[in-house]
Amino acid sequence: MRIGIDIENISRFKKLDFKKNQGFYNKIFTENEIKYCLSKANPSEHFAVRFCAKEALIKAVDQKFDFKDIEVFIENSKPKIEAKGFNSTLSLTHDKEKAVAVIIVEKMKLLKPNFNYIIKGRFFVLKPISIKEINKQYVDWLNNSEINKYLEVRHKKQTVKDIYEYVNSQRKSNGEVFGVFSRENKFVGTVALNLDLNNSVGMFGLMIGDLGVQRIGAGTEATILCLEFGFGQAKIRRIEGGIIDGNLRAASNLENLGFKKEGTHRGKYILSNGEIKDGFIYGILKNEWKNKFIKDIKIEKL
């Protein structure tokens, strides 16, 4: 864990008129940061304090960074900073002359994948998740009530650190978390496959965060790719997954692909609104899986 601090003169940014120096600002600040600062009565103060935050982080980690790979944003009235591979706590302040940033930085480590494969479908691709995908977008998905309604993360506000711990816990226990990507390499969700090697069983979980592709079958194709990999390269004989009563999209997906509804956990789950729901166990055996959906799947080692 390291600490960084930086102080800047706000006058430096007052002298740099945004319209006349857009090239400079575009090199230093992200589109979201520029939009936020320009919405304020005194943009120079907000640009200066964000510049401080980036400098403080770079000093703390002693590592080269492109300034635009670091983003400062406000969440629940508190300043936050995102830099891939680091979990940080940020404090910002400024008056009319000076801007100050103090940051505490913890470097996050991601364990190596257990299954270093890329699985290519018709429109989507699975590959092991990396630090590149563990970012604000992923965190926002997990904290979105529309997306997490039937996920266990609904009980606790998620952070970058929580995602690292989740992925590492899967990899420590013979499992893998795959990112789901469009063919254009856009990150849209995750698939988890945790293995019980003693019984040759895989536990399956799916989260599609991009609501646009969720509605056009990303979850179905990601499930098909996972089944092909699980029954093939992972050499398991059974894949199972659980859903909460009311998750009609997930139930339809599994049933259409040949999963059998095998059991009920009565009153097991509590939704965010306090409603108590049953849980259902679905399973499929290797000899029951018939891939009649996508015939041109390619599975390659990375």
pLDDT (0 to 100) of residue 244: 98
Based on the number of CB atoms within 10 Å of its own CB, is 59 exposed (0-12), middle (13-18) or buried (19 or more)?
Answer: middle
How many whole angstroms separate alpha carbon 292 and alpha carbon 60? 53
pLDDT tens digits, residue range 116-166?
Answer: 999 999 999 999 999 999 988 999 999 999 999 999 999 998 988 899 999
Based on the number of CB atoms within 10 Å of its own CB, is 278 exposed (0-12), middle (13-18) or buried (19 or more)?
Answer: middle
pLDDT (0 to 100) of residue 216: 86
Of the candidates 22, 69, 65, 68, the one whose C-alpha atom is nearest the C-alpha of residue 43 is 22
pLDDT tens digits, residue range 158-192?
Answer: 988 899 999 999 999 999 999 999 999 999 999 99
Q: How far is C-alpha 129 from the geometric centre of its chain's CA atoms?
A: 9
How many whole angstroms separate alpha carbon 33 and alpha carbon 203? 40
The type of residue at 53 is A
Q: Which residues are registered as beta bridge partners of 82?
A: 71
pLDDT (0 to 100) of residue 149: 96
Q: Write out the two tokens for 141.
A: 């998905």
pLDDT (0 to 100) of residue 262: 97
Only one residue has tokens 């259409």, namely 256
- Residue 71's SS3 state is strand
How many whole angstroms separate alpha carbon 181 and alpha carbon 120? 10
Q: Which domains does the chain have, with CATH numbers?
A: 2-107 (3.90.470.20), 117-301 (3.40.630.30)
Instruction: Give pairs for 63-71: CB < 8 Å, separation 24+.
Output: 67/27, 67/28, 67/29, 68/27, 68/28, 68/29, 68/30, 71/30, 71/32, 71/33, 71/136
pLDDT (0 to 100) of residue 72: 94
Residues in the chain where the model's pLDDT stays below 50:
none
